[in-house]
Amino acid sequence: MRIGIAGAGAFGSALAVTLAQAGREVTLWARDAEAVDRMRATRRAERLPEIDLPVQIDPVSDLSTLFACDTILLALPAQATRGFVAEHAQALSGKVLVACAKGIDLTTLTGQTAIIAEAVPSATPALLTGPSFAADIARGLPTALTLGCADEACGAALQHALSTPSLRLYRTADVIGAELGGALKNVIAIACGACIGAGLGDSARAALMTRGFAEMQRLAGALGARPETLMGLSGFGDLVLTCSSELSRNYRYGLALGRGAAFDSHTTVEGAATARAVTDLAAARGLDLPISAVTARMVAGDLTPLQALDALINRPLKEERE
């Protein structure tokens, strides 16, 4: 099986490297033809400059080569997925499409697999998510991810095809839960980064992670997810990783907010858009998600981190289970 990967950013390139090192043939597509030429000449990806690209990876800018693959991993920014699959729906017909982004689409307020299913009804949508940094995957460090697929036979086949000696995949049919866990934790990671950036301390961060996880469970449950899914890699596991490491773009973005510092506008921060989407989803369902709400307002520039803390800490007292 030749596996196609749409998107040669850090995560797409890292997946290509670990799959190629396990003997898989991989087509790695990037939009920028000049960047592809450099990859082919240097055997290095721009977002992973210290990692050699194995010979099993074929970097291309020609979409027809990508679309020749039956299984395609969509390693695109979450807000770009809808446009890509809609534009190329005919070429993607009948394929297995594995979403790798962690975010909620701002226009449709749906996750990545729902976007795929709507744009390409004949495709089989799946999801790859969980606690991982691209550099760790590319370096062959042990990593475990969640593979979500409602089609159990396809999910089992993908689990074997995409697992490697250093990348272990756990399978679930609860695609909604896996998807929401990966998306919602980014919002809490921004809040935690802002907390540390503003000098509020590790105890405050622990409180945000815990109460933020409760919000994740609340919204995911309202949207049909199984509670136990959020306790797994794609929920709790990813939350722990992204709320505690500066390798997380969402956490670094939060740090910058907390410090009042500039942040690279070219860096994709999935949690910024997802925070806005979560606010709309919560309002439509009458859900109280205070951490997500103040995070969305911080991202919009309507609250400073200290004002956000004040809004949270002065809320009415309640039982922890609420």
Q: Which residues carry out catalysis?
A: 185
List 98's β-bridge partners, or say none.
Answer: 73, 126
Report residue 116 as tokens: 């795929």
Please state, in angstroms and rounded to a whole number, the distance separating the CA atoms of residues 254 and 197.
7
260 phi-psi bin (left φ>0, alpha ψ -120 to 50, beta other): left
**Which amino acid is it at 248?**
S
Q: Are 257 and 305 in contact (CB under 8 A)?
A: yes
207 phi-psi bin (left φ>0, alpha ψ -120 to 50, beta other): alpha
Q: What does the radius of gyration of the chain's CA atoms come to, in whole angstroms?
A: 19
Residue 143: which of 174, 164, 171, 160 has the closest Cα?
A: 164
